[in-house]
Amino acid sequence: MRPSDLLHSRPEGLYCPTGDFYIDPVRPVDRALITHGHSDHARPGHAKVLATRQTLDIMAIRCGPDFAGTTQAMPLGEKIRLGDVTVSFHPAGHVLGSAQISVERNGMRIVASGDYKRARDPTCTAFEVVPCDVFISEATFALPVFHHPDASQEIGKLLKSTRQFPERAHLVGAYALGKAQRVMRLLRDQGYDKPIYIHGALTRLSEYYQSQGVDLGDLRPATVEDGDKADFADAIIVAPSATFADRWARRFPDPLAAFASGWMRIRQRAKQGGVELPLVVSDHSDWDELTATITETGAGEVWVTHGREEALVRWCELNGIAARPLHLVGYEDEGD
Amino acid sequence: MNRFAELLDRLVLTPSRNGKLKLITDHFRAVEDPDRGLALAAITGELDIASVKPAMLRQLVSERMDPILFGYSYDYVGDLAETVSLVWPEAPESRPNHDITLAEVVQKLQSASRSDGPAVLARLLDQAETSARFAIIKLVTGGLRIGVSARLAKQALADLGSVDVAEIEELWHGLTPPYTSLFAWLEGKATKPEKAARALFRPVMLSNPVGDGDLEKLAPTDYAAEWKWDGIRVQAVSEGGIRRLYSRTGDDVSGAFPDVVAAMEFDAALDGELLVGSPREATGTFSDLQQRLNRKTVSAKMQDRYPAFVRCYDLLQLDGEDLRELPFTTRRARVEAFIATLDPDRFDLSPLVAFDSWDQLEAMRREPPHPIIEGVMLKRLDSPYLAGRPKGPWFKWKRDPHIVDTVLMYAQRGHGKRSSFYSDYTFGVWSGAEGAEELVPVGKAYFGFTDEELKQIDKFVRDNTVERFGPVRSVRADRANGLVLEVAFEGLNRSTRHKSGVAMRFPRISRLRWDKPPAEADRIETLQALLD
Ligand SMILES: [Zn+2]
Ligand SMILES: [Zn+2]
């Protein structure tokens, strides 16, 4: 049996013929296994969905309670038979509920890791190395230029700026699922105990994180109409960065735009986006994490998906590991 | 080094002037000597470090990583210094147990010989963290490009010590990095540094451009007018036997103009325009003047062929008396009397232009009596000589820029955020006999258009490519087909490097003439006429 008999790409997504299921399909299918709740991985409309409890909850929050025909929660580490294959979910360290999916048959194991990171994150379970024959890796930040520094050091920059410019509202752009909550938790870890103001788009997800034991402290809506501008001086406001250009952002006094993202490593990206305070905080692996993880899994073959596939494929070649890009459509560069 | 790197990173992205000032003063407060003074020197361009060429950087990085991975990285980032700083392999074992200081970096770079420079740089990059690596590379490749002028840095110093910026400007040229005595004074720990040397630079007075509607509010009787000469603003200071010729920014340019310096037989500070030629017969063009610029030394032949002189318009000090507080009319009378005593081959007077109304002056401005006049200056009769650019007392009313219609010939891909666009344009005008016209390139421009226009030109380039050479495309450009670009420029120099024989100063695209057939673009003779 070749690995491609066990899993291969189809227009709908990554498909397992013997188990008759897709992983993170981009179109509605009969049976979908979902790695995590980001919208390009977790889409509504499938007949049956298998995912971690937290990913299912997040999908319900984002897509409504009827996002799938039936759902089945998969506890981490537990094995399940689907047709002839054994499937298990393992923590990916990306966002709350995120998992890698291991697919195994006749002693051959492929791990579809979804999105993952190795850096410490107080808001989700840490990544676990699953030894395998084929490792499917994301490549969002797969260039040697990407090094994510210690996230707490970046949050330190934000706090320093609030002390330097107390008359300005600090507007922190962050992806609504995962990044926003991580930024808030890191602020609390550094002793920031004032209320944090959040955009309406973050409310339900943040409440959900809090219900899952991630303490984010005092969160308040930043969406009160006709609020007094001065109320937000000296405040930290967290919002999806797309909202910065909206009328919404005008209510704040002389806002200082910060953006928490791995892309902020590149100065031109920050400049182009009008970001005054780039915070290099990412929920994806940087170059060193990607290459170290590939080595640790012991995989003899690597399939590379969404991002800068060519560089990671090149690294594998240089290190004697068979590798090829897996051309899956429908995934975007995530905002983190 | 990390603190300095963080300062640079924040300055680049902070648009507001006040924000930048706050960041710089906070840095001066938080950082000790000599690091803060070296940071100041780096920002003001006073740090003397032997430069490293981009090719050397590439060489260093190619010894350390796969060239294909480097290629992918450089393509993505678009800036060599930044790419190298990001991909440089981490070497935690070579990190010292403290954050290396800016002083250590500067000391190591300054004491490196030419041959071990690259190795010293590599060792520093091993020892530094990512942002610090970028800052180090910026220091050695020259040009921090952080959008902070020396003037702004001096304002930050003034803010730090709650003093007037003119006080800083006046001291500045007697001080050297790391400016310990300056900081001590600003922090109230020591007295004001003495003016260390004589013949110091005095901060110059600058003018504002005449804006729409400005003149209606001003009475012509309150102002004197002078021609604005297209030379180099200089300050000739001679005090106690020390002679210095300063540029407008206070750089000492005495070395390039020994002929002028030799004639500075006085004890005074004069403000004027440096020109070449003979003051009594013919004033040379800007391209003549260029022959004398940017030289550390100058041959006798050069001095003979392009003699330099100063056309004076103000007198700041005379025989120990500071005249700057006096009104313009008084200073003018003093300078007129004073110039009469000087060597007429080296010093003359910028004449006043008599006028009764703005309309009359406007007519003279449009038809100046000499090609090297670029407009008129208006000076308020009762104004003292004030450092900086105060609004009101001095105005410059420039001649309109030159405009020609040219045809787009080549387009080159830009860098950074423009790397996906053809954004650098070479344009030409027609030459040759009727019926056998050819385009001859006359210049290159990469700004003056909007983002929307950039997209339109980019599309035109892609749709009309005739040939490609690397990042450059030649586009269809003949009598009937092509894109006419209206180009504005400030002046023309003779050039032996360009086939056309002319080089434009400060060219920029002023309009896209989609409506105009290329055959109607200008001819080279139009430009040649501007040379004489
Ligand atoms: Zn994701
Ligand atoms: Zn993803």
Contacts of B26 in chain A (CB under 8 A): 164
3.30.1490.100, 2.40.50.140, 2.60.120.10, 1.20.1300.10: CATH of B402-531: 2.40.50.140
Residues A191 and A314 in one domain: no
Could you give the residue range(s) of every CATH 1.10.3260.10 domain in chain B?
Answer: 2-141
B275 CA: distance to closest CA in chain A (Å): 41
Q: Any idea what the Cα angle at residue A17 is, between residues A14 and A19, rounded to 5°?
A: 100
Residues A15 and A84 in one domain: yes
Residue with more model confidence, B149 or A95: A95
Residues A195 and A302 in one domain: no
Which pLDDT value is given to residue B141? Answer: 85
Question: Which among B15, B87, B417 has CB closest to A272?
Answer: B417
Residue B410 phi, psi (nearest 5): -130, 150
| pLDDT of A1 strictly over 90 | no
Cα distances (angstroms) measured from residue B364 to each of A46, A300, B355: 80, 82, 9
Residues A90 and A200 in one domain: no
Residues A31 and A160 in one domain: no
Q: Which residues does B431 contact at the CB level (< 8 Å), separation at least 6?
A: B437, B438, B439, B440, B500, B523, B524
Choose the mutation target among B13, B87, B137 for the interface with A, i.e. most A CBs under 10 Å: B13
Which ligand is nearest the CA of A94, by number? 1
Any A CB within 8 A of B9 CB:
yes
Q: Any idea what the Cα angle at residue B394 is, between residues B389 and B400, rounded to 5°?
A: 100
Instruction: State how far the Cα of B103 lies from the Cα of A41, in Å rounded to an integer.
Output: 50
| pLDDT of A132 strictly over 90 | yes
Would you call B77 and A145 a contact, using CB atoms and an 8 Å cutoff?
Answer: yes
Which ligand is nearest the CA of A92, by number? 1
Overall pTM > 0.95:
no
User: Thinking of the domain B208-398, which architecture would CATH place it in?
Assistant: 2-Layer Sandwich (3.30)
A146 CA: distance to closest CA in chain B (Å): 7
Would you call B66 and A275 a contact, using CB atoms and an 8 Å cutoff?
Answer: no
Contacts of A265 in chain B (CB under 8 A): 86
β-strand partners of B440: B429
Helix (H, G, I), strand (E, B) or coil at B40: helix
CATH number at residue A184: 3.40.50
Residue of A nearest to B67 (CA): A314
User: A51 and A59 in contact (C-beta within 8 Å)?
Assistant: yes
**Per-residue pLDDT tens over the stretch B179-188:** 999 999 999 9
Tokens of A84: 């002839």
The residue among B163, B167, B153, B207 whose CA lies nearest residue B390 is B207
Which pLDDT value is given to residue A309? Answer: 92
Residues A127 and A162 in one domain: no
**Per-residue pLDDT tens over the stretch A46-93:** 999 999 999 999 999 999 999 999 999 999 999 999 999 999 999 999
Q: How many domains does chain A fold into?
A: 2
C-beta neighbour count of A199 within 10 angstroms: 23
Asked if the structure places residue A94 within a domain, the reply is: yes
Question: Which among A144, A165, A266 has CB closest to B69?
Answer: A144
Which pLDDT value is given to residue A228? Answer: 67
Instruction: State how far the Cα of B90 lies from the Cα of B47, in Å rounded to an integer.
Output: 27
| Number of residues assigned to chain A | 336
What is the pLDDT of chain A when averaged over all its residues? Answer: 93
Dist. CA B529 → ligand 1 center (Å): 64
Asked if the structure places residue A333 within a domain, the reply is: no
Q: For residue B384, say if its preceding peptide bond is cis, omega within 30 degrees of 0.
A: no
Quote the ipTM score: 0.94
| pLDDT of A292 strictly over 70 | yes
DSSP-derived letter for residue B99 is: P
C-beta neighbour count of A182 within 10 angstroms: 28
A268 CA: distance to closest CA in chain B (Å): 7
CATH number at residue A316: 3.60.15.10
Q: Any idea what the Cα angle at residue B406 is, between residues B404 and B412, rounded to 5°?
A: 130
Residues A173 and A264 in one domain: yes
The residue among B329, B331, B291, B330 whose CA lies nearest residue B307 is B291
Cα distances (angstroms) measured from residue B99 to each of B2, B6, B204: 7, 13, 40
Residues A221 and A132 in one domain: no
Q: β-strands B223-229, B491-494: how paired?
A: unpaired
Q: What is the mean pLDDT of residues A206-222?
A: 96
Would you call B86 and A147 a contact, using CB atoms and an 8 Å cutoff?
Answer: yes
Could you give the residue range(s) of every CATH 3.30.470.30 domain in chain B?
Answer: 208-398
Any A CB within 8 A of B302 CB:
no
Would you call A144 and B65 a contact, using CB atoms and an 8 Å cutoff?
Answer: yes
Question: Which among B19, B69, B83 has CB closest to A311?
Answer: B69
Which pLDDT value is given to residue A176? Answer: 95
Would you call B86 and A315 a contact, using CB atoms and an 8 Å cutoff?
Answer: no
B276 CA: distance to closest CA in chain A (Å): 43
Dist. CA A115 → ligand 1 center (Å): 5
Residues A141 and A7 in one domain: yes
At residue A276 the predicted structure's pLDDT band, cuts being 50, 70 and 90, is: very high
Helical axes B117-127 vs B102-111, angle rounded to 10°: 160
Question: Which among A143, A164, A277 has CB closest to B76?
Answer: A143
β-strand partners of B403: B488
| pLDDT of A107 strictly over 80 | yes
Dist. CA A211 → ligand 2 center (Å): 25
Would you call B70 and A144 a contact, using CB atoms and an 8 Å cutoff?
Answer: yes
* Residues of chain B scoring pLDDT < 70: 195-197, 212, 294, 416-417, 532
Asked if the structure places residue A260 within a domain, the reply is: yes
Dist. CA B116 → ligand 1 center (Å): 47
| pLDDT of A212 strictly over 50 | yes
What is the residue range of A41's domain? Answer: 3-145+284-325
Which pLDDT value is given to residue B36? Answer: 97
Residues A117 and A212 in one domain: no
Would you call A271 and B19 a contact, using CB atoms and an 8 Å cutoff?
Answer: no
3.40.50.970, 1.10.10.10, 2.60.40.3470, 1.10.3260.10: CATH of B2-141: 1.10.3260.10
The residue among A18, B399, A186, A179 whose CA lies nearest residue A199 is A179
Question: Which among B66, B76, B130 has CB closest to A147?
Answer: B130
Contacts of A286 in chain B (CB under 8 A): none
**Per-residue pLDDT tens over the stretch A231-263:** 788 899 999 987 776 777 777 888 899 999 999
Which pLDDT value is given to residue B222? Answer: 95
Asked if the structure places residue A336 within a domain, the reply is: no
Residues A317 and A193 in one domain: no
Which ligand is nearest the CA of A332, by number? 2
Helix (H, G, I), strand (E, B) or coil at A255: coil
When mean pLDDT is compared across A181-185, A309-313, B237-241, B380-384, the lowest value belongs to B237-241
Q: For residue A122, say if its preceding peptide bond is cis, omega within 30 degrees of 0.
A: no
Which pLDDT value is given to residue B471? Answer: 82
A84 CA: distance to closest CA in chain B (Å): 40
Dist. CA A205 → ligand 1 center (Å): 15
First to last CA, chain B: 53
**Amino acid making up residue A50:** L
Which pLDDT value is given to residue A335? Answer: 47
Instruction: State how far the Cα of B473 lies from the Cα of B457, in Å rounded to an integer.
Output: 13
Give the side-chain half-sphere CA count within 13 A for A324: 8
Contacts of A308 in chain B (CB under 8 A): 72, 76
| pLDDT of A125 strictly over 90 | yes
Residues A310 and A183 in one domain: no
Q: Where are the beta strands (DSSP E) in A106-156?
A: 108-112, 134-139
Cα distances (angstroms) measured from residue A297 to each of A121, A128, A136, A301: 21, 10, 11, 10
